[in-house]
Amino acid sequence: MLDTRNIYPLSDFQRNAKEFISRLKESQKPIVLTVNGKAAMVIQDAESYQTLLDELKVVQEQINEMKLVALRRDIQVGIDQIEAGEYTEYTEETLNEFFDDIMSEGRRDREQAA
């Protein structure tokens, strides 16, 4: 969450760039620059930005690992069900109905989430 005390007009930044840069390096907190009263950009010191990128990379790797674990688990469940004879054989017609049902459920879930 950006600190609302760190919001400044772009014109202030342009007039006092050296002061802003010193403040950014010292606080290591980003600032928001506005144009015509609207947020236009966020400025951050390079070290803090690199730290943010590094943390994001770690989180992305963790998410990917969790997805892989879940996929392996789901595949194993499917294999176990097939081996136990717990499956349904579909014809082309019934398979199309099955897919239509899945699509309908997905649309309904998205509508409820909105």
How confident is the prediction along the chain (114 residues), in pLDDT tens digits per residue?
677 788 999 999 999 999 999 999 999 999 999 999 999 999 999 999 999 999 999 999 999 999 999 999 999 999 999 999 998 888 999 999 999 999 999 899 889 988
Residues 33 and 59 in one domain: no
Could you give the C-alpha distances from 95 to 19, 33, 62, 75, 102, in angstroms and in order? Answer: 66, 55, 35, 20, 11
Amino acid at the residue 108:
R
Q: Identify the domain containing residue 72 by its residue range.
A: 49-104
Alpha-carbon span 107 to 80, nearest angstrom: 30
Residues 26 and 56 in one domain: no
Residues 33 and 9 in one domain: yes
Residue 30 buriedness (CB in 10 A; 0-12 / 13-18 / 19+): middle
Please state the pTM of the whole predicted model.
Answer: 0.62
Residues 20 and 33 in one domain: yes
Beta bridge partners of 38: 35
Please check whether residue 20 lies inside any domain of the structure: yes
